[in-house]
Amino acid sequence: MAAAGEYSFAAEYDGPPLPYSLPRAIPLDLSRIPLASLSSPTSPPPPTAPPLPVVRPLTPSSLCSAESKRDSLGRGSRVLRRLLSATEVELVMRSERECAANQLRPEDVYVNGTKLSPEELVMLQGCQCPPSKLRPGFYWYDKVSGFWGKEGHKPHCIISPNLNVGGALDQKASNGNTGILINGREITKSELQMLKLAGVQCAGKPHFWVNADGTYQEEGQKTVKGKIWDKPIVKLLSPVLSLPTPNKANNQCGEEPVNVVNRPIPDYLEQRTIQKLLLVGSGTNTILKQAKFLYKSRPFSVEECEDLRLIIQSNIYNYLGILLEGRERFEEEAIADRRTTCQSDPSSSGHCEPELCNDITEYYIAPRLKAFSDWILKAMAIGNLEDIFPAASREYAPMVEELWKDPAIQATYNRRSELPFLPSAASYFLDKAVDISRTEYELSDMDILYADGITSSDGLASTDFSFPQLALDGRGFDEPDPQDTLLRYQLIRINNKGLHENCKWLQMFDDVRLVIFCVAVSDYDEYYEDANGNVVNKMMETRQLFESIALHPIFEQMDFLLLLTKFDILEQKIGKSPLTSCDWFSDFTPLVSRNLINGTSKSSRGSSTGSTLAQMAGHYIAVKFKSVFQSFTERKLYVSYVNALDQESVRSAIRYGREIIKWEDEKPVFGSSETTYSEEPSSYSH
């Protein structure tokens, strides 16, 4: 037993996740430990009382939390859940949440420039739709429409209207610069985009009155022009634009507010928080679709499946058209080479052998297939291929199958590296051309993953999901954190085409928590022709896009996760096509055996590192992106590999992104923001 007057305590570790298990401590039974009790100053302690070790229990009232740490209120750490039972953790966390010292003070909240009174704060928190995550600060509130936001920012949510709180709404409350007013407030560019999606005519910078139900009319007019929320696309894209949509439970005027003084859990802790993840780069379609399969009971609606089915059926003829164009080019080149050889051969005396002078090459197709080929190419040239197919896909499916299996088309496909517009999934769908063309054709999960795009427009797309458990690997899961079940995640995918126009979409994502940038490591030797006719290396273009996003002011302090995809394709081609074919990788000089360089090594292992050439190339690419990111931002780049066609690999990558967010959130809790960091790409999602 400890000597008199001595005691010890355990400090809770709240740092980053550890790769090993912590020793489990047996919690103390506080009821068996003597506690200090208050006594009268005039009552001396009994002279015979022996000195006892004293444990002073910490109460939540002695821990007045800083506002920067309010998010951590009521959240039990991993170590605490190991030391105490789930019931005990919940009691401790509830006590922390209910503590009076941790409640919001009305004098710390200003609405429309006016400090709230206690009664106004009760009214604000007690309405049917209160503002989420209410903190000390300055807010603006549109009492007519219910729009609510921070001073100088766009609307954050829509709360109950007609609440008698705060002062009058200022015209520059949200710092808008569009010249268009809603209920006397100049709106922001994001709100203007929302109005355009809703079909509201904004020419001439009109002023509108907008009611809580979404109906709107121009100032000075009595006629209601429409309802903003009637169009489904508005509700679909408003979250992507970080704009709120109305809740069905919005409080109407005259409804009695609920007194929240005696509520056990404040409203700002009950609101479900959305953590946004921005997905950009190569292969993002497949990753987003995998996320839908992972976290949605119904990943795709009937309409979405029908869109994907039409996309697949139409793309079969696009793939075939690319192959037919390549076949014609390769055939012309082969014939020209034969004639050149015949003319340059001095022994021929101007006369060629019959087999050299004819126009039949390995790219020759029979007249019947040639007529069908010419018809498809003509439809592509006119631009009405999509009008013909897939309506006629069932009729011509056998011809497509026969053409695809023809030796000339197979010879063309073997030179697919020279066909930059032919996707890697072309052979998968062309092999199933007849089945896909049937009217009763039903999509398989793999069909959906291989399909180009997500919707017919292939623009912005997103999916919401949540998962209650957190683990660093698939071998062990901690007990579910009750607070984690309140978190929702939104994975937002942007098509690269929308980012090339001066990154116009990026300004809409100022509240994203993590940018996930995907890089296809197999792009190093692939090229395409841009609109100006210039031949562009895909990896160099990816680097340029990465730099433009990393340097964008919106993401100045945001974390980045680099996902390296298509590693399997890299393994197939690295032996034949060196990584140095990309100018950016000209200094790639791995130490490998002579057999590996010649492509004859069965093990494909380096002579000293034990890694394959593809693994060394992948690590090299990761370090190159890390160096670029560090040089421009002086920040750290997280890296992981992912196989987009493997569901568990995508699950691990998404969980790793969640771990990064949690790690960044916990940094201020346990001290220094400096962390141990390695240039090695993470093997988390192998």
Known binding positions for Mg(2+): 457
Measure Cα distances from 433 to 238, 398, 419, 427 in Å. 38, 8, 20, 10
Residue in 559, 549, 567, 542 with CA at minimum distance from that of residue 656: 559
CB under 8 Å, gap of 24 or more: what pairs does 566-569 form?
566/282, 566/283, 566/520, 566/521, 566/522, 566/523, 566/644, 567/521, 567/522, 567/614, 567/618, 567/641, 567/643, 568/643, 569/424, 569/520, 569/521, 569/522
Measure Cα distances from 612 to 121, 264, 609, 617 in Å. 64, 58, 8, 9
Is 228 in contact with 199 (CB distance < 8 Å)? no
Backbone angles phi, psi at 210, to 5 degrees: -120, 130
d(CA 310, CA 54): 75
d(CA 249, CA 235): 16
d(CA 527, CA 125): 57
Tokens 């929308």, residue located? 498
Is 499 in contact with 505 (CB distance < 8 Å)? yes
d(CA 506, CA 498): 9
Q: Is 261 helix (H, G, I), strand (E, B) or coil?
A: coil
Measure Cα distances from 306 to 109, 288, 300, 456 in Å. 50, 18, 10, 10
Strand-strand pairing, 207-210 and 215-218: antiparallel
> Residue 622 is inside which H or E element, if any?
helix 613-633
CA torsion sign, 81 to 86 to 91 to 97?
positive
Is 257 in contact with 127 (CB distance < 8 Å)? yes
The neighbour count for residue 331, using CB atoms within 10 Å, is 20
The neighbour count for residue 41, using CB atoms within 10 Å, is 5
Residue positions in the annotated binding site? 457
d(CA 545, CA 503): 9
d(CA 471, CA 654): 12
